[in-house]
Structure 1
Amino acid sequence: MNTVFSPAPSVTVPVVGTSAQFPVHRIYCVGRNYVDHAQEMGHSGREPPFFFMKPADAVLLAAPGSLTPLPYPSLTKNLHHEIELVVAIGTGGKNIPVEQAENHIFGYAVGLDMTRRDLQNEMKAQGRPWCIGKGFDYSAPIGPITPKEAAGDITHAAISLQVNQAIRQNSTVEQLIWTIAETICQLSAAWELQPGDLIYTGTPAGVGAVVPGDTLKGSISGLTDIELKVV
């Protein structure tokens, strides 16, 4: 193929227990999907799910056993952490029934939805899209993907985030407002899901700001922890 410039390399995430890499297609994110987080953001109840997206190259791989540098982004003075269970899609589909959703899952990972909260709030106040608050460079840190067969009972897994060794977020995946299967069903009604899609499924309460020098450790039972330092 004759291209006008060399294409960017594919974004990939390593798979636990193998030498294989998971090629990333799209990144979908679910907003306000834990009751306690919805309440802290001024909402309540089982509201219809809503979604936003990040570019695939927003991925920042947090290598196991190392403190991965997380660049503090430009334009913001209020960078927030949001710990999330990430679902990796292995088989695509459209209008996927809830009862078949698990068949489309390849595996799971620990992720962070980093947010320029001040920019997001400014755009919300003006009724404008808030991609600038969510879809910036390095805004989607993620750890290695654990195949679902090796992840254990992910629906009851504990999920937590420590900042400077102090717990900021602490919950369980069973507190999701919309379950993993329901989320896949809803997403696949709006977009045809593809192998390589990542779904950031939402964050529990306790989101807050981080500054350069802070260290973050994200954990979900059965999955590989991620550790980062804001630089």
Structure 2
Amino acid sequence: MTHSTELRCGSSQEPPLQASKWLQLQVLADSQEMERLFDAFGNFLIFKAGVLCNAGEGEISKEEFLRLYSNYVDALKLGQLPDDALYRQSFSSVFTTDPGNLFQVEVAGNRRIIRVARPVLQLQMHKMSYSSVDGKFRPMVLGKDCIFWGLQFSYPQLFQDESKEVYKALEEEQFPDSKLYRILQKWLRQETIPTPFIVDTHQINVPIRLGKNCVEWINRHPQL
């Protein structure tokens, strides 16, 4: 990357994002489907959030993110488990159309932590688990036997500002990144399906999404 977006410098006492009633969407998409999502988003920026990084290194280019995501998917296609360490920081990121929604805090020397001030589209590496006790799949579960399943996108419904006034964060004029969430919803409807799992000869359709392009190779997933 030849240019790095400069973020506002804040203090360690400045409160991070005050938000609630999070909307969460989990999806394993093919790399080409992810590229189409980025095209639909238009102009936006990607930053690592909540992790230590050197000054100027908190931003991730779209090309770098898509390269990492493609490598992640390629590992699954080959029947291999992705290496957490290669992807966790970049997948623990935020998408925003306005860098003013973020600020950075100097920690030690030239190190920084990027924090969220106003609603943005937040990401996490997503893993899920299946319980034979109640026959349910659960998203965002930690553990060595949990199933690698793409990304979780999150966006809040409510936001509280410094004056303690509460706003609806899905109103586009005040919170432009709500548009990213709505584009994501539309993309999910067009490009993905509820995941059909076969458990003990019975098909279970799970709300966790699967890209339509993934259907042809998903049986090579090393944990299925």
* Bigger proportion of residues as strand: 2
- Short-chain TM bin: under 0.3
> What TM-score, normalized by structure 1, do the two folds share?
0.25
* Bigger proportion of residues as helix: 2
Higher relative contact order (CA closer than 8 Å, sequence separation 6+): 1
Rg larger for: 2
